[in-house]
Chain A
Amino acid sequence: MLTPETEADLAEAVCAATGPLRIIGGGTRPIGKPVAGEVLSAAGLSGVSLYEPGALTLVVQAGTPFAEVEAVLAAEGQRLPFEPMDHRALLGTSGAPTIGGVVAANVSGPRRVQGGACRDYLIGVRFVDGTGAVVKNGGRVMKNVTGYDLVKLMAGSWGSLGVLSEVSFKVLAAPGAEASLVARGLSAEQGVAALSAGLGSPFDVSGAAHLDARSSDEARTQVRIEGLAGSVAYRAGRLAELLPGFEVVEGAQSAALWQEVRDVTPFAGRDGAVWRISVKPSDGPLLAGLGEAIFDWGGGLVWLLVPEEGDCGAAAIRARVAELGGHATLVRASEAARAAVAVFPPEPAPVAALTAGLRAKFDPRGILNPGIMG
């Protein structure tokens, strides 16, 4: 296993590689086609490079444990606003997730629907491309249109375009209060319609999810608001008027509801393959017949639990998603199943040609997590 501790060592390791490299951070997200190759761990690149709370800016080495990043920010009353999922429960992995892994997988939780994804808060990257060259893009300021935006391209590229060495974020103050409005027993259609009403209100909803009856004791629909205490109380009251039958839950009780959605814990420890599907929110309920479902992002992010047999439902799910518009990724399945099924969504030919072209340019030898995204 290669464990560089500096960017220069990382560049040298990639440069010197003679075969495929399997790039890992904390190794808690074994998603994608299985990759054969020498393990290159970024975990040795660790530590905060720069933190300016007054400028809402954090620059951190890619291998820094995510928990450490959270602790550093919490000490100043700040946080990464995109609420990344911890995959350990769902995928049955252990170890310490790294910030670089969060970026490489563009992991974004319930707050994505309001504030944006990991890629929206990522303002700079440094990485080593497949030739061993060190590249920087973006920087440490939150408004920057100088040159092409490779920052977005690196987010969610799963290490296939370059190995991240450093990442910069816009951070935000953690709010003083939160509350959720919760209803029980709604159908998926009713639930998503209520979420849409909440998200279309002026009350700045920061989470909107529905768990079907099999994933909770009873179907549960929930809408979250965060902010200053007075404002949260006001908006909770207004939303309660807008959404009859919803009850207000506050503080830690509210936070627990969202951690469950964020980490998809109802599917943790249970048999079956898990899909992550992004569609137009009102289309979400149309997928409910294909498996047990948890809807986040107002209905637009659908987690599906299906039997792990045959193609894990790939053909049926992808055909339906193709009709609706969107994409489906097989997040959890055995290594054999992931080797047999396209884990990431197959792209239409012209888009696939662009994607393949970019891979060939950034990693001409095809050594960085080859084939991980199919």
Chain B
Amino acid sequence: MEMPAPDASILAKKPRVVARLAEALPAGAVISDPTETRVYECDGLTAYKCPPLAAVLPSTTEEVAAVLKICHEEGVPVVPRGSGTSLAGGALPTADSVILGVARMNEVLEVDYDNRFIRVQTGRTNLSVTGAVEEDDFFYAPDPSSQLACAIAGNIAMNSGGAHCLKYGVTTNNLMGVRMVTMAGEIVEIGGAHLDAGGLDLLGVICGSEGQLGVVTEATLRILRKPEGARPVLMGYDSAEVAGQVVSDIIKAGVLPVAIEFMDRPCIRATDDFSGAGYPDCEALLIVEVEGSDAEITEQLGVINQIARGHNPVELREAKDADEAARIWLGRKAAFGAMGQINDYMCLDGTIPVSELPYVLRRTEELSKEYGLDVANVFHAGDGNMHPLILFDANKEGDLETCEALGAEILKLCVEVGGCLTGEHGVGVEKRDLMGAQYSDADMEAQMRVKDVFDPDWLLNPAKVFPLAVTASRRDFAA
């Protein structure tokens, strides 16, 4: 993967930039020693690494503004970083960039149950947002798999989803307002504890802009009252086609499960060996979860189980109690860990129309054979968000490259059938060079114009999202 050559003039003035940052921030907030900046050389996409010029860890919005003002004046690129869990390289530095980490900004600023929102600093982790309100039976809905570690800042940057977004939506549907600092160091407030925009929906375009429009330091998030209960049901089928049809029939039937998860045979086997969840040996496994009181759950599962039975399941298992529910989820939740134990893997996240599921699984299998690497599938089936895991050996010469090539083929397939490159992880550097498969030059030009307005010098989170060739003229001009 190509990154732009670092700007030699910036590397040369490192001492001055570091001194200015140190002057603006409290002691211990600037990291410039090469042995210490290595901590920031990569994020969750560990295949690509590059230590930054320096890293800063401000504690207030005003300090963030001071950092950005200095970097803006010095023409130094800035890479915002939440917890560094991006699977797309969203927080990958360049050698001439300053990492701006918000990890020290993790306070809860306001909780308001009457108006159902929480205001937090964005370095706070996703799970600890729910943690702040769950004693009072509220929760924050978006729940990416990395929720124990990932920060709200990164959730906003990538517009993160999770297993439960079929019912509750993704980050953008649960984000009410932000306090953000522009690259020029100006603090802006957008949205708040009220709903929707009075003018243009700037919040809507900031969410999911991969940290390229500004650094979000505070967020107002919608919180919801917890449902009375939840119960999963497990279904096994002999073919992916049938399982796909079941998914389609369920969402058409007027019950809206909170989650519909899908695992294919390679994934079922690996996770069952690892977790001992006791999954049936079959081609496709679905976990469907519904919420409500006992009586409501029974009513919904009545509709769902009738559909499931109509398609001759190999197994249909409804959780009778919390213990059985946990066992049904056990394998699914262990899926990534199980895969990690047997192999290195790359996790893709293209989305497809649900109706194309059987075709995409079949074609993925063909591609897998063609490239000689195994692919296991585990994904959010209700909304078509695939998660093919390509298994490879990082220590084997050329395996990573083959894996990347196969990944690109699978993502192009997602686009061909009417879907997209990424459903919840973001483009980052990982899918940057595939953007042309989904968007025309005019489509990308329209997006880049937004960047031109928020960050005219193109200094924020450089070399991400758009192919380098497409951004070349803008980067040259800015330099």
Contact = CB atoms under 8 A, between A and B. Distances in A.
Contacts of B452: 357, 361
Contact of B170 (A112, A143, A157): A143
Given A140-B418, A153-B204, A200-B116, A148 B199 contact: no
Nearest to A228: B299
A280 B194 contact: yes
B172 interface: yes
A67 interface: no
A105 B304 CA distance: 37
B454 A354 contact: yes
Contacts of B295: 230-231, 234
A310 interface: no
A260 B299 CA distance: 31
Contacts of B193: 280, 325
B300 A228 contact: yes
B296 A301 contact: no
Interface string A210-236: 000000000000000001101100110
Contact of B195 (A117, A235, A345, A348): A117
A362 B208 CA distance: 20
A54 B248 contact: yes
Contacts of A341: none
Interface stretch (A86-94, A245-253, A326-334): A326-334
Interface in A168-193: 172-176
Contact of A145 (B194, B422, B442): B422
B204 A196 contact: no
A2 interface: no
Nearest to B294: A234
A348 to B, nearest CB: 7
A201 B8 CA distance: 59
Nearest to A357: B453
A350 B202 CA distance: 12
B137 interface: yes
Interface string A49-76: 0001111110000000000000000001
Contacts of A53: 252
B192 interface: yes
Contacts of A357: 452-453
B383 interface: yes
A196 B444 contact: no
B195 A137 contact: no
A109 to B, nearest CB: 12
Interface stretch (A15-23, A40-48, A128-136): A128-136
A355 B200 contact: yes
A234 B293 contact: yes
Contacts of B137: 202
B201 A135 contact: no
A200 B139 CA distance: 11
B422 A326 contact: no
B310 to A, nearest CB: 15
B354 to A, nearest CB: 4
Contacts of A234: 293, 295-296
Interface in B346-403: 351-355, 380, 383-385
Contacts of B352: 141
Contacts of A204: 227, 292
A351 B200 CA distance: 10
A350 B188 contact: yes
A147 B444 contact: yes
B413 to A, nearest CB: 14
Select the residue from B195, B208, B443 with max chain A CB neighbours within 10 A. B195
A116 interface: yes
A305 interface: no
Interface in B151-204: 158-159, 161, 165, 169-170, 172-173, 182, 186-190, 192-204
B2 interface: no
Given A55-B355, A202-B227, A278-B195, A358 B453 contact: yes
Interface in B249-265: 249, 251-256
Contacts of B431: 146
A52 B353 contact: yes
B273 to A, nearest CB: 30
B170 to A, nearest CB: 7
A282 B115 contact: yes
A29 B65 CA distance: 41
Contact of A355 (B202, B255, B256, B423): B202
A180 B471 CA distance: 54
A143 B300 CA distance: 24
Interface in A260-276: none
A149 B354 contact: no
Contacts of A174: 254
Contact of A325 (B182, B192, B255, B449): B192
B450 interface: yes
A141 B353 contact: yes
A227 B192 CA distance: 30
Given A228-B300, A354-B454, 4 more contacts: A145-B427, A230-B296, A281-B114, A354-B188
Interface of B: 112-116, 137, 158-159, 161, 165, 169-170, 172-173, 182, 186-190, 192-205, 207-209, 225-228, 248-249, 251-256, 292-293, 295-296, 299-300, 303, 351-355, 380, 383-385, 418-427, 431, 435, 438-440, 442-447, 449-454, 465-466
- Shortest 10 CB-CB distances between A and B: which pairs? A152-B204, A327-B198, A54-B248, A357-B453, A143-B423, A173-B254, A345-B198, A361-B449, A326-B194, A280-B193
18 contacts: A55-B248, A57-B353, A117-B196, A134-B442, A137-B443, A139-B438, A141-B351, A141-B352, A142-B384, A149-B159, A153-B201, A156-B196, A200-B114, A278-B198, A282-B114, A300-B115, A358-B450, A361-B453
Interface of A: 52-57, 76-77, 106, 108, 112-113, 116-117, 119-120, 129, 133-137, 139-153, 155-157, 161, 172-176, 196, 199-202, 204, 227-228, 230-231, 234-235, 278-282, 297, 300-301, 325-329, 344-345, 347-348, 350-351, 354-355, 357-358, 361-362, 373
